Amino acid sequence: MTEDNFYLLLCYVVFFIILAFVIKKSNNKIKIFYVNLFVILSYSAYFLYNLYFNSQGGTALFWLIYLMFAITLHAAFNLFYIVYISLYKTR
């Protein structure tokens, strides 16, 4: 496993751990799971396709960084959702 694959795997693992907490705290577990799954599969398919098939001239790093940024941003939105549920839904 290369170092790039390790960092990408780490991003996915952190994302799915955060998603598990979101699903645990949410009232509508199935909807939250399927929406997040659809979103991550959509942008992951786009970025991974470009990473493997359109990476001429050193643009593979560009696609890898964008994919890791998108996963991190998605995880951050889920973290904000956990905070929102924890603070405002319990009142």
Residue 66 belongs to a domain = yes
- What's the pTM? 0.89
pLDDT over threshold 70, residue 91: no
The per-residue pLDDT for 58 is 83
Q: Report d(CA 76, CA 37) in Å as an integer.
A: 15
Range(s) of the domain holding residue 52: 3-85
The domain total for the chain is: 1
- Whether residue 90 is contained in a domain is answered as no
- What confidence category does residue 55 fall into, taking pLDDT thresholds of 50, 70 and 90? confident
In the structure, what pLDDT confidence band is assigned to residue 27 with cuts at 50, 70 and 90?
confident
Question: Closest by alpha carbon to 29, among 77, 72, 85?
Answer: 85
User: Is 91 inside a domain boundary?
Assistant: no
Q: Could you say which DSSP state residue 57 is in?
A: G
Whether 47 is in a domain gets the answer: yes
